Amino acid sequence: MNIKTLRQAWLMKAINILRHDFSQIGETFPEEIHILVEYHKFAPPGWLGSYVEDGDHHSIYISPIVDGLVALVILVHELIHASVQENHSERFYAVSKAIGLNDGALAGPEEVLLERFHEVEQILGMYPEEA
């Protein structure tokens, strides 16, 4: 298995774990979300993640150059987009704060979310890295 496939599988498992965290704050996101560890074709250079909805298809793109903690921060940020179905609105920032992501990720995760990320890593093992 190549690194891209390993990372995508790891992130899919992380989504299943984080779904519980979203339900704890009264939020849901689509049952079926595709994870791609690559740049979205319309993303500007340097973009680290994006959420794309195309009808019934929901996809999250995670940059292939980030490490595990950053990948989880990006994943949660994009799951918030999937949950609220809005861009950076008041509701988006309210859900960000409720889940523990300060300022939608710009200020980083709060301590409780960092602890949750460490729990995810304990369950799944470390984010797959290049050899």
- The answer to whether residue 90 sits within a structural domain is yes
| Of 65, 57, 62, 56, the residue nearest 105 (C-alpha) | 62
For the stretch 21-72, pLDDT in tens is 999 999 999 999 999 998 887 776 667 888 888 877 899 999 998 998 999 9
Instruction: Indicate if the pLDDT at residue 88 is higher than 90.
Output: no
Give the pLDDT band (50/70/90) at residue 9: very high
CA distances from 100 to 9, 31, 44, 57 (A): 24, 22, 27, 27
- The answer to whether residue 131 sits within a structural domain is no
CATH of the domain at 78: 3.30.2010
Tally of domains in the chain = 1
Model confidence, pTM: 0.90
- The answer to whether residue 38 sits within a structural domain is yes
Query: Helix (H, G, I), strand (E, B), or coil: what is residue 79?
Result: helix
According to the model, what pLDDT value does residue 106 have?
A: 61
- The answer to whether residue 46 sits within a structural domain is yes
Q: Which domain holds residue 109?
A: 3-124
104's tokens: 């939608």
- The answer to whether residue 105 sits within a structural domain is yes
